Amino acid sequence: MTAGALLLESFLDGEAHEVDSKSTPTDLVSEADRRAERVIREGLAMNRPQDGFLGEESGEQAGSSGLRWIVDPLDGTVNFLFGIPQWCVSVAVEDERGSLAGVIYDPVRGDVFCGVRGAPPTVEVRTRPHPIYGHPPARPWEILTLSASKCADLSKAMLATGLAYDARVRAAQAQVLARAIPHVRDIRRFGSAALDLAWTAAGRYDAYFERTVKPWDIAAGTLLCEAAGLTVVELPEQENLPWGILVAPPALCEPLLELVGGPA
């Protein structure tokens, strides 16, 4: 929460900080990313010194406890830098079986999505006025159990997705989208994989798919989705289409795989 508060302050102040590119000129990282990850990493080092760590910005550190924390300190960096209020903080902890617990924090809206293996996923709804729009919350503070979509009709499915930074991959993804669009209700692309997964677990989307995702993008979100009753399957690598994931109600998995799982 501390990292999210720091990010929100920077976002509202319009502070871009220092900005660099990573894999491509459009794959950006800011000092805000690095500062948020430092805050999270220092807190974990103080409270869980024996655990391992994997962060998007600072890499991996081995541990001795059998647990490893996977952190995306700012998922949606480009949105953050452009002043688009669609970004989040994602933190998960995993054991030898995969994600054990995860949190996705949306500082702009104040929503905290929480998942623990074997328990229903929840969202904690904010109680304070919206930091951008100023109006009071729509309902009093409460913790709600997430309810994922049970859609079984492909033609009525609202999909979420994301696009790669690499232009060649995006061109192939565009062909997949063109193939899928006539068969579904609509497709949304908002720019934060972790928040897309949280919203899919909450039933705001019926399904989600994306390629080029990394462990820190999906570790917390896939746990939320599986705990909410959705199926998570891999999208195999194809020509110009790297590995990815599909999250959907069980009845939609097969028809969606036929649409988005194959080559462009």
Find the range with the poorest average confidence among 125-129, 165-169, 193-197, 221-225.
Answer: 125-129
**Residue 214: CATH number of its domain:** 3.40.190.80
Hey, what amino acid is at 165? Answer: Y
Q: Are residues 119 and 179 in the same domain?
A: no
Q: Are residues 62 and 132 in the same domain?
A: yes
Q: Are residues 27 and 106 in the same domain?
A: yes
**Residue 116: CATH number of its domain:** 3.30.540.10
Q: What is the mean pLDDT of residues 214-238?
A: 97
DSSP result, 206-244 = SEEEEES--HHHHHHHHHHHHHTT-EEEEE--BTTB--E
Q: What is the reported pLDDT for 26?
A: 47
Q: What is the reported pLDDT for 28?
A: 45
Q: Are residues 158 and 133 in the same domain?
A: no
Q: What is the reported pLDDT for 44?
A: 95
More confident residue, 100 or 24: 100
Range list of H helices, the chain: 2-13, 31-47, 77-81, 167-180, 193-201, 215-227, 250-260
Q: What is the reported pLDDT for 205?
A: 98
Q: Are residues 101 and 203 in the same domain?
A: no
Q: Are residues 117 and 176 in the same domain?
A: no
pLDDT tens digits, one per residue of 40-73? 999 999 999 999 999 988 889 999 999 999 999 9
Q: Are residues 165 and 96 in the same domain?
A: no
Res. 16 pLDDT band, cuts 50 70 90: low
Q: Are residues 139 and 168 in the same domain?
A: no
Q: What is the reported pLDDT for 252?
A: 98
pTM (2 d.p.):
0.90
| 142, 163 Cβ separation under 8 angstroms | no
| 128 pLDDT higher than 90 | no
Q: What is the reported pLDDT for 54?
A: 97
Res. 30 pLDDT band, cuts 50 70 90: confident
Last residue of a domain, one of 145, 175, 199: 145
Hey, what amino acid is at 217? Answer: D
Range of the domain at 85: 2-145
CB proximity list for 254: less than 8 A, separation 6 or greater? none
More confident residue, 156 or 138: 156
Q: What is the reported pLDDT for 33?
A: 80
Q: What is the reported pLDDT for 24?
A: 53
Q: What is the mean pLDDT of residues 171-196?
A: 97
CA distance 85 to 192: 10
Q: Are residues 174 and 48 in the same domain?
A: no
Angle at 77 between CA 162 and CA 109, to 5 degrees: 90
List own/partner pairs for 237-240 with CB under 8 A and 24 or more apart.
Answer: 238/172, 238/262, 238/263, 238/264, 239/172, 239/263, 239/264, 240/168, 240/169, 240/171, 240/172, 240/264
Q: Are residues 28 and 67 in the same domain?
A: yes
Q: Are residues 107 and 205 in the same domain?
A: no
Res. 131 pLDDT band, cuts 50 70 90: low
pLDDT tens digits, one per residue of 58-117? 889 999 999 999 999 999 999 998 999 999 999 999 999 999 999 999 999 989 999 999
DSSP structural state of residue 154 = G
Q: Are residues 136 and 171 in the same domain?
A: no
Split into its structural domains, the chain has a count of 2
Last residue of a domain, one of 76, 111, 145: 145
| 236 pLDDT higher than 80 | yes
pLDDT tens digits, one per residue of 151-179? 999 999 999 999 999 999 999 999 999 99
What tokens were used for 2?
A: 């501390």
CA distance 48 to 67: 10
Considering the chain, what is the average pLDDT of its residues?
90
Last residue of a domain, one of 145, 174, 197: 145
